[in-house]
Amino acid sequence: MIILFYRGCHSQSLECGRINQAGNPRSWPWRVFIYVKDNYPTEGSLISNQWVLTLARNVQNYHPSDILVHLDSIEQLSSQDMALETFLCDPGNELCLLKLASPVTLTDNVRPICLASEQSTFYSGTESWITSFSVAGTEENNLEIVGNNECQCYYGPLSEDTICAGHKERESTCLGNWGGPLMNKQNSVWVQSGVLSSYEGCNETSKAGVYVRVSRYQKWISDTVADTPPVFVTFTSPDIDIDLFFTCSTDPEHPTPTPPCDSVFCGGESLMHFTHFTSLCVLVVSLHVLVGSGGI
């Protein structure tokens, strides 16, 4: 009985994407800081007891011995600084997986985040979060998913491997460190949907931050972290994806988004067709009047 109880408690502590509600709400148990030799610290996320997910450009030009991972925690005593055994980047050099020299001790305050599976859907308007820094310390920023069709209005063509998110007011959203997780909450479980990647989009006029879409890398992550696999969760957005009907201005200097419209009078192509049809009708009526009056 005692052994079974211990196993149950131990299993509970290993659950991904759970936050200790009794703790400091500004602490994320999977958040890590990556310190690279002679470089500004960046971020990543703990995805199992020995692997960290981050942006490739944070580490790819360094040796594992030049990198130190600091696990964030609400308790200073439980913070852990870890050396790396190795790191592996995906073939496209978008993401890297950092293998810690030894497994970390998982507690309520140090645990992995769940990852979005290939079947996940993140429609426009889906509530999201990313951490950032301020004078007061770590803060959470409430964002919403910006569909790729709309996001392309700001940055040009985007691949399916990207996901965008921004404030509802479309203010600057690149508030965290490169490699930090874009997070979505499903019931009581937190799921990582993206990894902050945009450099050129992070300025005062940014309308959305650009992230690497985690769900597109499920197979690579699973194959790479086969010894201590992370947990993938299917995140499902409600309703329909309105971004499928989104169009924007063709003027590259002023990419003004245009909301979807069901009317045949919406959109340049429809309006052009309608204008041509109207002109033809006017011509036919004029000819009919001329013929009827003996003008021809």
**Does the residue 240 lie in any domain?**
yes
C-alpha–C-alpha distance, residues 287 and 283, integer Å: 6
**Does the residue 126 lie in any domain?**
yes
**Does the residue 46 lie in any domain?**
no
Same domain assignment for residues 118 and 206: yes
Q: Which domain holds residue 270?
A: 266-296
Q: What is the CATH number of the domain that holds 205?
A: 2.40.10.10
Contact 197, 163 (CB under 8 A): no
pTM for the whole thing? 0.77
**Does the residue 98 lie in any domain?**
no
**Does the residue 239 lie in any domain?**
yes
* Count of the separate structural domains present in the chain: 2
Same domain assignment for residues 223 and 280: no
Q: Nearest CA to 193 among 170, 173, 211, 174?
A: 211
Contact 58, 84 (CB under 8 A): no
**Does the residue 32 lie in any domain?**
no
Same domain assignment for residues 129 and 205: yes
Same domain assignment for residues 189 and 288: no
Same domain assignment for residues 223 and 185: yes
C-alpha–C-alpha distance, residues 233 and 252, integer Å: 38
10-residue stretch averages of pLDDT, the chain, 296 residues long: 34 69 66 88 94 95 94 56 93 96 88 96 94 53 90 89 84 70 94 84 69 97 91 93 84 50 39 41 47 50
Give the 3-state secondary structure of residue 273.
Answer: helix
**Does the residue 231 lie in any domain?**
yes
Same domain assignment for residues 273 and 237: no
Same domain assignment for residues 200 and 275: no
**Does the residue 283 lie in any domain?**
yes
Same domain assignment for residues 239 and 271: no
Q: Identify the pLDDT of residue 171.
A: 59
Q: Nearest CA to 177 among 84, 68, 54?
A: 54
Same domain assignment for residues 273 and 183: no
Same domain assignment for residues 158 and 234: yes
C-alpha–C-alpha distance, residues 26 and 215, integer Å: 26
Q: Nearest CA to 90 among 222, 227, 229?
A: 222
Same domain assignment for residues 243 and 277: no
Same domain assignment for residues 218 and 131: yes
